[in-house]
Chains A and B, each alone.
Chain A
Amino acid sequence: ETGVTQSPTHLIKTRGQQVTLRCSSQSGHNTVSWYQQALGQGPQFIFQYYREEENGRGNFPPRFSGLQFPNYSSELNVNALELDDSALYLCASSLAGYNEQFFGPGTRLTVL
């Protein structure tokens, strides 16, 4: 059984650029959640996708957007990058109703 995978591992961008992060969910999981973890902080909920529809959003601006594909993999897109967007972005997959999210290793984004 393959766990949650994320790509790329590391990414460096400059202010104003756009970035796309990718997540492959664990086999059989239909829900994907994205979290932002700033240095020294706990993860903050960005949004969640269930069966290709957004199903809950945290306190993040619209320049954070996402997609979920029919195979339940997902993308996180961030437009107009700001320095404060530098963080570890974590993807978690789950099977709705089972109360356990499985996290990927994360993508470390640095914005210069």
Chain B
Amino acid sequence: AQSVTQLGSHVSVSEGALVLLRCNYSSSVPPYLFWYVQYPNQGLQLLLKYTTGATLVKGINGFEAEFKKSETSFHLTKPSAHMSDAAEYFCAVRTNFGNEKLTFGTGTRLTIIP
């Protein structure tokens, strides 16, 4: 069975500093990996995804993530944090290709310090 672990339920960074949100997955088959963002009282918005091909994936709002198979990781980064990045971030994995079920991590709440 697949699973996702997000290290750090809360992360605080200063405005302009590097954002690093960690995600590790467990899967017996090559996974598809996703990062979603959730703003208060809203649904989830896709930031970026890895399916096949290039392991460094660029997404919206300046975020990117790198798929590292040897480390079973898919960490999310952004070079310079902005106040508008404050939100909850979820890493998700898809391994059942008979349907589109996503397995999510427990989330990381990102706080930006002015």
Point out residues on A near B: beta carbons under 8 Å: 4, 31, 33, 35, 40-45, 48, 50, 55-56, 58, 90, 92, 94, 96, 99-106
Point out residues on B near A: beta carbons under 8 Å: 4, 32, 36, 41-46, 49, 51, 90, 92, 94, 96, 98-107
Are A43 and B44 in contact (CB-based, < 8 A)?
Answer: yes
How far, in angstroms, from A105 to B49 measured CA to CA in the complex? 21
Task: Name which of B51, B100, B104 has the most chain A CB atoms within 10 A of its CB.
Answer: B100
Are A100 and B43 in contact (CB-based, < 8 A)?
Answer: no
Q: Contacts A90-B43, A103-B44, A105-B42 hold; do A55 and B106 have CB atoms under 8 A apart?
A: no
Q: Which residues of B sit under 8 angstroms from A105, Cβ to Cβ?
A: 41-43
Are A56 and B98 in contact (CB-based, < 8 A)?
Answer: yes
Q: Contacts A48-B99, A96-B100, A99-B51 hold; do A41 and B44 have CB atoms under 8 A apart?
A: no
Q: How far is the CB of B69 from chain A (nearest CB, A)?
A: 18
Q: Among A42, A58, A90, A106, which residue has its beta carbon within 8 angstroms of that of B101? A: A58
Are B90 and A42 in contact (CB-based, < 8 A)?
Answer: yes
Are B32 and A99 in contact (CB-based, < 8 A)?
Answer: yes
Are B100 and A41 in contact (CB-based, < 8 A)?
Answer: no
Q: Which residues of B sit under 8 angstroms from A56, Cβ to Cβ?
A: 96, 98-101
Q: Which residues of A sit under 8 angstroms from B44, Cβ to Cβ?
A: 43, 90, 92, 103
Closest residue on chain B to residue A50 by CB atoms: B99
